[in-house]
Amino acid sequence: MKAVRIHKYGGRDVLMVEDAPQPEPRPGEALIRVHASTVNLFDVAVREGYLHVYFNYTFPLILGTDVSGVIEQVGEGVDQWQPGDEVFTRAGVFLEGAHAEYVRVPAENLARKPQSLDHLHAAALPHVSLVAWYALVDLADLRAGQTVLIHGAAGGVGHIAAQLARQRGAKVIGTASLNLPFLQELGVDESIDYSSVPFDEEVRDVDVVLDLVGGETQERSWKVLKPGGILVTSQTIPASQESADAHGVRAGHVNRNPPIGPTLTELARLVDAGQIQPHVSTVLPLDEIRQAHELIEARHTAGKIALQVV
């Protein structure tokens, strides 16, 4: 099969589109014929070697986490899924990645593709939705009537988080620069151009900060929280517990997934109910994987960059 592989860590030049052995599903797994995938900053971090201490990767390594496609074959013990089922899931964290024509995944992680979406848009959901769900639902316990500030609200995680927060009845404040009109399309209650307006001079007493940016932005966010509020970050390094204690707030770190299959099943329900809509700004063939990485590294993407495999 054709796949995107790396043989060492490094820049975009290590991304190789080449022939690779087609995987076989093991007991409890399913083999998916990949129709579409997407590129995440997670994939960039893997490529550059930042995550090798967390995952026991070996070379050559197939990249890619998101997948939407059709089950080709099921392994022993899998009876809840059949060949021909349209599914989507997060793959490629502990097994082979999804930037390939086929990928094997644990059957328990599968969810039925939302009926209202094509494969390109379904593939835009898994990774970012799981991050947003774990951050806002599991860690922050975001509730109706609360206020959340989302840094990078126009990006992959951000645009799903903004919609999820609104679905839960929260007021949403989002920061962006080039993509402010996109935030208005998402229904964000208040948009802030971080390149011209200091957000920490405009925002006060929020219940939740979702930090998808890190660095100085994270440090300036502590003071906009109300006492007892929480700052949740998706960055590799957790937010400072010392800073949280000094401001009388809490710190949360997205360092795991919620249950993948059940969570994506609930996300699919929300999508088909019209409450969440993934946005794909760019579609590229698998052969243009280097361009996809270049675009996402620029950090000005509205929504997701999708890869058309079939």
Q: Which residues contact 28 (CB under 8 A, 6 or more apart)?
A: 75, 76, 77, 78, 106, 107, 108
Residues 60-82: tens digit of each pLDDT? 999 999 999 999 999 999 999 99
C-alpha pair distances (Å), 69 with each of 47, 49, 116, 261: 24, 28, 15, 15
Question: DSSP string of 39-89?
Answer: E-HHHHHHHHTTTTTTS---SSEE---EEEEEEEEE-TT--S--TT-EEEE
Helix (H) or strand (E) holding 230: strand 225-233
Residues 126-152: tens digit of each pLDDT? 999 999 999 999 999 999 999 999 999
Residue 285: cis peptide before it, omega within 30 degrees of 0: no
Residues 9-45: tens digit of each pLDDT? 999 999 999 999 999 999 999 999 999 999 999 999 9
Average pLDDT over residues 160-186: 95
Q: What pLDDT score does 35 carry? A: 98
Q: Which domains does the chain have, with CATH numbers?
A: 2-125+278-308 (3.90.180.10), 128-253 (3.90.180.10)
Mean pLDDT taken over the chain: 96
Give how far the C-alpha of residue 201 lies from the chain's centroid of Cα atoms, to the nearest Å.
Answer: 29
- Is residue 7 within 8 A of residue 16, CB to CB? The reply is yes
C-alpha pair distances (Å), 285 with each of 119, 122, 169: 14, 16, 38
Average pLDDT over residues 186-211: 95
Rounded-to-integer distance, Cα 141 and Cα 20, Å? 43
Average pLDDT over residues 206-229: 97
Rounded-to-integer distance, Cα 26 and Cα 3, Å? 20
Rounded-to-integer distance, Cα 33 and Cα 113, Å? 13
Q: What pLDDT score does 53 carry? A: 82
Residues 224-283: tens digit of each pLDDT? 999 999 999 999 899 999 999 999 999 999 999 999 999 999 999 999 999 999 999 999
Rounded-to-integer distance, Cα 38 and Cα 155, Å? 13
- Is residue 210 within 8 A of residue 235, CB to CB? The reply is no
Residue showing tokens 């019209």: 274
Model confidence, pTM:
0.96
Q: What pLDDT score does 241 carry? A: 96
Q: What pLDDT score does 94 carry? A: 80
Structure-block tokens of residue 281: 């700004």
**CA atoms within 13 A of residue 92's CA, in its CB half-sphere:** 32
| Residue closest to 200 by CA, chosen among 145, 133, 256, 247 | 247
- Is residue 284 within 8 A of residue 301, CB to CB? The reply is no
Structure-block tokens of residue 280: 């794909």
**Rg (alpha carbons) of the chain, rounded to whole number:** 19
CA 149, 297, 18, 282 torsion-angle sign: positive
Amino acid at 289: I
| Higher-scoring residue by pLDDT: 307, 237 | 307
Amino acid at 255: N
Average pLDDT over residues 190-213: 95
Q: What pLDDT score does 256 carry? A: 92
**pLDDT of residue 118 exceeding 90:** yes
Q: What pLDDT score does 52 carry? A: 85
Q: Which residues contact 191 (CB under 8 A, 6 or more apart)?
A: 153, 173, 174, 175, 176, 180, 183, 184
Rounded-to-integer distance, Cα 239 and Cα 244, Å? 8
Q: What pLDDT score does 93 carry? A: 81
